[in-house]
Amino acid sequence: METAVENLELMFSKSEAGLDHIEKRLKLDLTNHTAENGRFPEENPAMMLERLRAIKDKHTALCSQMTEIAAAQKESMFSTRENINRAAALIQHFAQTGMEVHSHAESVQKLEELSIKIK
């Protein structure tokens, strides 16, 4: 059984080396073909593929950052909403206990409006 596994590993290793060789050969052929036809190196399909890979990597990184930012924004909005609700509850509590609250109704209304906008 071990020999079969070792043979498979050897076959995969050889095929991987073969594919690497083919990739390098294609890049070289495309580069030579591009130069022979008087085209710019930027028009080389192999170089275009490399740039495309780099763009995909940047896109993936940006998507990851966007996800992190969205999560942080959601957490921040939740915290802000909770603080506004607590402030409105305190104002109502002070008003009910008879403590003087300057422009109570207006403050509560503004806080409630802010809370609704944040949701």
| DSSP letters for 52-113 | HHHHHHHHHHHHHHHHHHHHHHHHHHHHHHHHHHHHHHHHHHHHHTT---TTHHHHHHHHHH
Minimal CA–CA distance to 33: which of 48, 49, 47, 44? Answer: 44
Query: Are residues 119 and 85 in contact, defined by beta-carbon separation less than 8 angstroms?
Result: no
pLDDT digits (tens, 9 = 90+) for 64-114: 999 999 999 989 989 988 888 888 888 788 778 876 656 556 666 776 677
Highest mean pLDDT among 21-25, 48-52, 55-59: 55-59
Query: pTM for this structure?
Result: 0.48
For residue 49, what is the enclosing H or E element?
Answer: helix 45-96
Residue 4 has pLDDT above 80, yes or no: no
